[in-house]
Amino acid sequence: MDPKYPALANTAVEDWDKTFNVNTRGAFLCSKEAANRLVHGGGGRIILISTSVVGGLFPGYGAYAASKAAVETMAKIMAKELKGSGITVNCVAPGPVATELFFAGKTEETVNRLVDSCPLGRFGQPGDVSKIVGFLAGDDGEWINGQVI
């Protein structure tokens, strides 16, 4: 994520490539490896991480949102490709989570505006995300497949 939040027209090609290499290529390589290593018919879970920014379409987040939209698309397609294998593929797309990465480059005014827009009146915590991932990874998440949560 570029903390300067450039418009797409001002995004350097190198920054675009770096964002896609980390977010999209990283998710692709991990998913590919998991799909080839998990025992088909034995069950298993592939869980990718996206962001609510994909649906928000915020100016300045173009490269980041596009890279995560690609991750969501990969999850949905891979879920269909693994049909009948017992392996599920889902994507978790949290809203703002209070991490160092999230706060990078944001003014106090921006942070206050963003927390004010959160339905619970607070930023998420890493533990909030891990609970969803844990659910999807466990036996209770067996029936959920090809979804973005």
So which residues are the catalytic ones? 64
Burial tier of 88 (Cβ tally within 10 Å: 0-12, 13-18, 19+):
buried
Q: Judge contact between 97 and 52, C-beta under 8 A.
A: no
How many other CB atoms are there within 10 angstroms of residue 15's CB atom? 16
Long-range contacts of 58-62 (CB under 8 A, 24+ apart): 59/5, 59/7, 60/5, 60/6, 60/7, 61/1, 61/5, 62/7, 62/8, 62/11
Residue type, position 33, single letter = E
Burial tier of 42 (Cβ tally within 10 Å: 0-12, 13-18, 19+):
exposed
